[in-house]
Structure 1
Amino acid sequence: MMKKLLLIAFALLCVNTYAQDETRPWAFGVGINTTDASQHGVTDPWDQFKDYIGPFVDTNTVPVLSRISVARYLNRSFTVDFAFAYNQLEKKYGESEVLDNLNYFSTDLGLRYDLNNVIGETGWFDPYAKLAMGIVSVDGDWGVPASAAFGFNTWFNDKFGLNFETSYKSTAHFAGNSFLGLDDAGNVAGIGNYHFQHSISFVYKFGAKDTDKDGVPDKEDLCPETPGKKELFGCADEDGDGIVDKDDACPKLAGSASTKGCPDTDKDGVADKDDACPNVKGLKALQGCPDADGDGVADKDDACPNVAGTMETGGCPDADGDGIADKDDKCPNEVGVKENGGCADPIVPDFNDSRYERTKGELIKTVEFNFGSYSFKLGVKDRLDDVVALLDEKKVAGLYVEGHADSTGPAAYNVKLSKERADAVVDYLVSKGIDKSRLIVLGLGETKPKASNSTAKGRADNRRVEISIVEMKKK
């Protein structure tokens, strides 16, 4: 009978395998077991092997369900299990000797190691090796066997399968061990020091958590809090467009994957909710609106929809590139300003034009003065002549003339002295024909040193007048 069951077991290896894992961590098994008494220990491996493979004249099998087991998956390498088995011993030690139908009980607590970690995932074969400790009892005479086992699972589906296991058990290590007080846990009458035990069980996996009760375990459920469909990995699809609600931007309206589940009436790839022109096919870059002249301005916003223009001119042409559409430009071929109707502004604005505000710009000259004086040093007039030439050429609208002093003496005196220095520069520029109205004069005293006043060189640098360009900016 056991040989037939073994053949069935190996035939079932062709069944698809659904490995026990954290999705269904518990497995409960019921089946039958066979015991095979042996006279050979691990020191006689050849005799032990011959005894293992047959002949089966000393095997004992109860033709009813005689084994139950419970296994708990720990991780991809280890599973712990507990097994209880019952048998009746009629034959022993390779003989046909008839015993008195001795009642045999065994319990084992084992740790399985998944051999797929060694041989690689097979997809059809789920083997393991196991070490276990347990208790065996034969009509009240008991022992504590250690066992090594090999087994495999093959699954019919994700819940039901078949388990085959074969183990070698030995109580010899406790024989005569009075130190541990287990000298009676060695040789067990009726079974001896060594025996094999084989089993085949039907197993059922359970324990998978399914929070939303949709039949998809949380481990496999992409939407574990919301009931859904198995083919959608546990997620719902309210509008039936094939896009799960959690990924559907419009879960109540059928759409397509390209628009994240939202409708797209004009089929331009822009969802109606984001389409500024939902009934006219357009461009994604223009929120679904068309652009007939291809200038990057949507027709609905294009003042010249059939002639290419620029964004700055509302989609109309601008031949001179001054930001004023040709249709509004009085000088369409000349770069100009809006205030002049698209025509050019003067190169240098009128210094007193109220449309401009004046700010200090680039520093163009610095002239130094003697201590306590507003008289020019040698060479200063040459520098000021350069400034006069700049103003004469009308490249600038005006100048800031700022007088400065070092920190020697009272602050009020230094302000007066710095103003006198600035006035001396202005007087020279005016003497050269520069209109005084184009000059802004300031006496700042010692408030803005450009060097340290703690050295003679630094104080000399601080006795100066700075001349800067006046920038004219439109208000």
Structure 2
Amino acid sequence: MKHLNKFFAAAFMFVGLASQAQDSNNPWAISFGVNGVDTQVSARQSPLNQRPRFIELANVSDNWNILPSVSYLSVSRHIGDGFSVGLAGSVNKIDKWSRRPLPTDFNSYTTEVINPGDLSYYAIDANIRYSFMEMIGTKWFDPSLTVGGGYNFFGDASAGTVNGGLGLTFWFTEQVGLQLQSMYKHSFDEYRTINEDVPVHFQHMAGITFKFGGKDTDGDGIYDKDDQCPDVAGLKEFNGCPDTDKDGIQDSADNCPDVFGLAEFNGCPDTDGDGIIDNEDACPDVKGTKMMKGCPDADGDGVADKDDNCPDVKGPKENGGCPWPDTDGDGVNDKDDQCPDVPGTINNNGCPEVSAAVQKALNDYAKTILFDTGKSSIKAQSEKVLADIVGILKEYPNAKFTVEGHTDSVGSDKLNMDLSDSRAASVKNYLVENGIDASRLTSKGYGESKPIDTNKTSAGRANNRRVEINLVK
């Protein structure tokens, strides 16, 4: 075992180099365990063609040389498509050497096992391995085929070999497994002289294998090369990307990544279930309508309840959702009622209409207004009549009237026209001075042009001398 230190130095140097190349999912593997060397396969041969016979390979107690300690170490690198390359080193002690038949007895197929003097054994092998695990579609059962070559030492003898073997690994986890392997090592030494020749032999190995080298920056259990979000811890179902709110929608596709939501709303919540996502819902805790931006409208007046001062009664938005008042109860809302405190008619904008009876009453009063003879000054006894006229006009605050003056035919036309005009103006001024808005009144004199009776009698002329107050329609 004089080269043992060299072997271990080389093996551990290789491991050190390997640990610097971690750039894919567990591309590196280290295996170690025990090995058994069996020289029986080349001890028996046919006398005709000198080919080895593969017999009694499982006779462990008689044929196998086993060192009861860790006696092999291998390092391998996955290169893709099921292939990996590796370097292995092993040590053993040969105390069971299968000897061939004596040259005088080639017809005998019996061999004998002798102790060659505790030969040291060690080997360095380079291999190419093909794994069938992906082909058969399993995650734990890993059969393999290995070919390669190596250099083997039996005591003072050494020689290169061509190797081929079968292996089987049972993976307990993604990175730890039990490895079993049998390797046929064919040397080209023609003889089997101890300390001079290296026999064709089998080497069997059993041990633990560890895969490593995968990089997982965010520590989420998904290697960077398969992780679509390698710097943020995520979930396997989202290829390593996170789902912060755990709503089943990864953050990159979630419009509300910090709040549990629904897929139909791209991850945003709809707390009240009204079909409007919370961040667009003006009333997220109360079911509403899209028209009201997610708020309810109990009375259906188009004003959301939260803004409706009368949520149970329909009303216009302009009045805070409440119906317009109608103080005088005439069917015309106060906002449109020009006489909100006096019942009126819709046709007259909420103001009372002057009826024919009222019009007649006005003129009956007006006809009794007395003036000083030939003048426009009103006699004092007419003030009560004028007060009654003022009272009637105030009942119709929206109505407009014209005050008309008339005379009989006594006197000239011009004189009569001027007199009627001034008397009409005198009545108008009295009404304005007593509380009637001047904008509601006009005055005009017609002289003797519109008689209502004959001017041939004193009674008729008295009827023609008059004042009329007529509604402007």
TM (norm. structure 2) is: 0.48
Structure of higher CA gyration radius:
2
